[in-house]
Amino acid sequence: MRTIGLIGGMSFESSAVYYRLVNEMVRERLGGLASAEVLMHSVNFEEIVSMQKAGDWDGAARRLGDVALKLQVGGADCVLICTNTMHLIAEQVAARISVPLIHIIDETAASLKAAGRRRPLLLATRYTMEHGFYADRMKSLGVEIAVPEAEDRTIVHDIIFSELCAGKVLDSSREKLMRIIEREMAKGADSIILGCTEICLILDPNNLPLPGFDTTTIHAKAAIEFSLGADRKREAA
């Protein structure tokens, strides 16, 4: 079993989900009391959010790059950035280490293509929905994403940062998200990407009007496949 390195704390609410998922998956695969070999470095999210708001992505890349290198030195055989938004700087972080960085967008695109989905609706932070890095990488992998209208993007972003990252899960916000999904269904969306690692706290991907793809679960599964040495090659679509 190879050691998984997790860059967590963005927010710790979703990092706790990652930790639970990778251990549950190892126990399911190996049985008994088996659990994952994991190293986690949890950062101060307030520091990262300040960089996001200031547009200091270079500073954020240095910070997470330092953390990734510490994980590698500590024995991690791969690294995961446990958040979609900070994959905006994934290439800079990957350049700091010599072990694989398992990329959440690549893994999500592979899952979408395997399911025959080509027009998913992305629900995520404003940074992920608007900065282009997510859409561009998905497009390069053969997937055209859709995002909500500007007003709805604000609603999703605020639910994530003001509520989910603070441990608040409100039925009223779940209803808002479902209305957004219904509006985008009418425009041709064929699936839903839970593109923020906290959204699984409020939306069940298996209880949506379209097929749901939870990036947190997809990312954790990829880490376990790497750790346990499974064949992670994907068939070409």
230 — pLDDT class (breaks 50, 70, 90)? low
What's the count of helices (H) and strands (E) in the chain, helices before strands? 10, 6
Say how far apart CA 2 and CA 102 lie, in whole Å.
13
Partner residues linked to 122 by β-bridges: 193
Task: Supply the pTM of this predicted model.
Answer: 0.92
Domains 4-104+217-227 and 105-214 share a fold: yes
Q: Which 3 state secondary structure label does DSSP give 51?
A: helix
**Of the listed 78, 82, 83, 165, which one is catalytic?**
83
Q: Strand 4-8 relative to strand 191-194: parallel, antiparallel, unpaired?
A: unpaired
For residue 229, pLDDT beyond 60: yes
For residue 55, pLDDT beyond 80: yes
Per-residue confidence (pLDDT) for residue 57, from 0 to 100: 97
Residues 6+ positions from 20 with CB-CB distance below 8 Å: none
Q: Where are the domains of the chain?
A: 4-104+217-227, 105-214
Say how far apart CA 220 and CA 36 lie, in whole Å.
11
The structural architecture, per CATH, of the domain 4-104+217-227 is 3-Layer(aba) Sandwich (3.40)
**Of the listed 78, 82, 196, 200, which one is catalytic?**
196
Residue 39, number of CB atoms within 10 A of its CB = 17
Partner residues linked to 79 by β-bridges: 5, 101
Taking only the tens place, the pLDDT of each residue in 164-193 is 999 999 999 999 999 999 999 999 999 999
Backbone angles phi, psi at 197, to 5 degrees: -70, -5
Under DSSP, the state recorded for 8 is E
145 — pLDDT class (breaks 50, 70, 90)? very high
83 is catalytic: yes
105-214 CATH choice from 1.10.8.420, 3.40.50.960, 3.40.50.1860, 3.40.50.720: 3.40.50.1860
